[in-house]
Amino acid sequence: MSDRTGALDAVVFGVDIQSGDVRGDAPSYALVVFDGDSIERDVVSYRKLRRRINDERPTMVATDNMYELAEDKDALIHFLGSLPPETTLVQVTGGTDPEPLSRVASRHGVPYAKKPMKEAEAAARLAAANVGQAVTAFTNTTEVKVARGRSTGSGGWSEDRYTRRIHGSVKRRTREVESELDDAGLDYERDATEKYGGFSNAIFTVQAPPSDLPVSTERSGDVRIEIERQRRDGVEFEPLVKRRDRVIVGIDPGTTTAVAIVSTDGAVLDVLSTRTADTAAVIEWIIERGRPVIVAADVTPMPETVEKIRRSFDASGWVPDRDLPVDVKQHRTREEGYDNDHERDAIAAAFGAYDANKDKFERIARETPPRQDQGAVLERVVAGNEPLAEVLSDLQDDGEEEEENTEHVPRELTAEERRINRLETQVERLQDHVETLEGTIEQKDDRIDEYEQKLSDARSEQRRETRKSREVTRLERRNNQLERKLETERERIEELESKLERLKALWKLDHSNFADVAEKKAGLVPVKIIEQFTRDDIETADEKFGLAEDDVVFLRDASGAGRSTAQRLADINPKVVLRNGQLSDMADAILFDEEIPVAPAEMVTIQEVDELAVARESEVEEAIEDWHQRAEDRKREQSAEMVDRLISEHRADRPEG
């Protein structure tokens, strides 16, 4: 959570129900907008409150009771999910066991009155001072789903290209999202479902809140992107400012640095293992979790890195008499959870320091008076090596002196009467000096007011710059997305223009009586090439330059085709099929039955230019004529075979004798 303790760098909304009930119709709310300097007050409807939150995106929405904004737990979770990513709901009266708002306000010196607008203002001021608990229902894990934006239809070969295009678009956008997440340095896992032509969907599980993602919800043509935060099991509370109790820190340095935080009563509070964080980052992580009184290692002497961290906290150091054996560390940490051996070693080091100082901790807890700060005693005794009796005596003497200063002097007025008389003259002389000093104080107060005004102006300017910077970043991100989309469209246009030029060339060859066709092209016919005699390659050729009736088709590899593939080619009804290699018996029979001329490619001179090809019309006609002659012979042979078969069957059926 935020660690701000002073001036705000954003806006806080304080909210309290003014009239009605969130479970009824049309509740109204007292709304206080507080930015650290100025206060805006308003009474708004629930709908207007939600609209202002979405438009102005405050850092916090503060209330004394979160169920004034939602009728039940499900509605509260829905409300939390609808908040902008940068906005946090704060219950200033606490978490699971809230206190009265009047008591919290009194404890923190915030003005309070039992009126909705005053309660809303108190909530805003308390949240601005980091008082209260953040209400959360979502983790910092976000799910980004890239999926189809259109239905692929009911099926059929005519829809195959449409389906393939949609799945290809999903796959392409998935790769773009993956690249953007990599550029942003975010940790994620990807789970993609492969379908015909690409992906039907892809799900990214990203370890970051939605506000940190470089992508947003969108729906464009064939693809849509949905973003959803991962929910917790229920509603949870997190303090706005974490307490910094005195703790024991165990450290295992190396390529992987592990750190364990253990309380002074022997409980593991947190564990970290990292390969990337430097010493400064490790120190910052420790600061967020407590104030170390002991920094420990599991080997002796203390490693230099651990010693450096110990000195930064001015804490006491602990190392074992000899390096802790693995079996000892395993036994001591057997009831704790850890992810690797480095974390185990750090926990074992912290436990070693705790075991060595356990009696001292218990004595401090037992002998420190209830009103004394036990953390301060721990620091002086454990980290400062001061005797406990001396520390407690100092603290007790300080308390007695304060009592004497507040109670003893008024009671001794009579006993000090003669001394007061002697000082009266001195007081009179000092009064003039006091007046002079008061004048100086007034001048300084004026300068303070001036500086505070300048500081207020600077803060306002900083907030404006921050908002401007966020908007610029958002626009730059949007601009990058549009530039990538533009580049994709340009590539598509170039591809289509190239295809159009090829189709124009083929069309001119098909219409040789056009005036702009060169004489050298007379007598030529276009040849449309299919790489392999497969259904996919037929569809690819059809998509590139179109296959139509009376086309001359060249099968570069005629082998392997089955019944459905041959029937697909026969349905086009080409003028002739030129082949390289032998057709399968099934394909040959189907093309013959459909009276599709088939001839070896060697009979025709084919000239290829890029993806286009032409052949001499005369050679094509000769190949067709040759097929017709072969077809007549084949039909006669088939007729003779059929007659012989009938005669044989007849003889077989005739009775003997």
Domain 141-235 has CATH 3.30.70: yes
Could you please report the per-residue DSSP string of 563-597? HHHHHHHHHH--SEEEESSPPPHHHHHHHHHTT--
| Span 77-82, average pLDDT | 87
Q: List CB contacts of 255: < 8 A, sequence separation 6 or more.
A: 275
Going by pLDDT thresholds of 50, 70 and 90, the confidence category of residue 432 is: low
Going by pLDDT thresholds of 50, 70 and 90, the confidence category of residue 552 is: very high
Say which residue, 64 or 642, is predicted with more confidence: 64
Percent of the chain whose pLDDT exceeds 70: 85
Q: Give yes or no for residue 408 having a pLDDT over 50.
A: no
Q: Tell me: the pLDDT tens digits for 279-291? A: 888 988 888 888 8
Supply the CATH classification number for the domain 12-131: 3.30.420
Q: Where are the strands (E) in 327-454, listed by range?
A: none
CA distance 181 to 188: 8
The predicted pLDDT at position 312 comes to: 85
Q: Give yes or no for residue 402 having a pLDDT over 50.
A: no
User: What's the angle, vertex CA 392, arms to CA 389 and CA 394, rounded to 5?
Assistant: 105
Q: Give yes or no for residue 275 having a pLDDT over 60.
A: yes
Q: Give yes or no for residue 413 having a pLDDT over 60.
A: no
Going by pLDDT thresholds of 50, 70 and 90, the confidence category of residue 264 is: confident
The predicted pLDDT at position 633 comes to: 85
Q: Give yes or no for residue 343 having a pLDDT over 60.
A: yes
The predicted pLDDT at position 406 comes to: 35
The predicted pLDDT at position 117 comes to: 94
Task: Kindly report the backbone phi and psi dihedral angles of residue 80, in degrees, each rounded to the nearest multiple of 5, phi listed first.
Answer: -65, -40
Q: Give yes or no for residue 7 having a pLDDT over 50.
A: no
Say which residue, 402 or 572, is predicted with more confidence: 572
CA distance 208 to 474: 17
Task: Kindly report the backbone phi and psi dihedral angles of residue 598, in degrees, each rounded to the nearest multiple of 5, phi listed first.
Answer: -130, 130
Q: Tell me: the pLDDT tens digits for 122-173? A: 999 999 888 888 998 888 888 999 998 877 654 444 467 778 888 888 999 9
Going by pLDDT thresholds of 50, 70 and 90, the confidence category of residue 505 is: low
Q: Give yes or no for residue 521 having a pLDDT over 60.
A: no
The region of weakest confidence among 102-111, 422-431, 475-484 is 422-431
Q: Which CATH number fits domain 246-375: 3.40.50.300, 3.30.420.10, 1.10.150.650, 3.40.50.970?
A: 3.30.420.10
Could you please report the per-residue DSSP string of 374-388? HHHHHIIIIIS---H
The predicted pLDDT at position 225 comes to: 92
Q: Tell me: the pLDDT tens digits for 463-497? A: 888 888 889 999 999 999 999 999 999 988 888 88
Highest mean pLDDT among 23-27, 103-107, 606-610: 103-107
Closest CA to 57 of 464, 467, 478: 467
The predicted pLDDT at position 610 comes to: 61
For residues 339, 342, 347 and 348, what is the CA-based torsion angle, rounded to 10 degrees? 130
Q: Give yes or no for residue 53 having a pLDDT over 90.
A: yes
Say which residue, 502 or 255, is predicted with more confidence: 255
| DSSP 8-state assignment for residue 519 | G
Domain ranges of the chain: 12-131, 141-235, 246-375, 523-644
Say which residue, 321 or 149, is predicted with more confidence: 321
The region of weakest confidence among 33-42, 203-212, 396-405, 583-592 is 396-405
Q: Give yes or no for residue 220 having a pLDDT over 90.
A: no
Going by pLDDT thresholds of 50, 70 and 90, the confidence category of residue 6 is: very low
The predicted pLDDT at position 355 comes to: 93
The predicted pLDDT at position 250 comes to: 96
The predicted pLDDT at position 299 comes to: 93
Q: Give yes or no for residue 105 having a pLDDT over 60.
A: yes
The predicted pLDDT at position 376 comes to: 75
Say which residue, 544 or 385, is predicted with more confidence: 544
Q: Give yes or no for residue 520 having a pLDDT over 80.
A: no
Q: Would you call 628 helix, strand, or coil by DSSP?
A: helix
Count the neighbouring beta carbons within 10 Å of the beta carbon of residue 103: 11
Same fold, 12-131 and 246-375: yes
Q: Give yes or no for residue 426 having a pLDDT over 60.
A: yes
- Quote helix, strand, coil % in the chain, to nearest 5: 50, 20, 30
Average pLDDT, whole number, for the chain? 83
Q: Give yes or no for residue 572 having a pLDDT over 80.
A: yes
The region of weakest confidence among 33-37, 408-412, 566-570, 636-640 is 408-412
Q: Tell me: the pLDDT tens digits for 604-629? A: 988 876 667 888 889 999 989 999 99
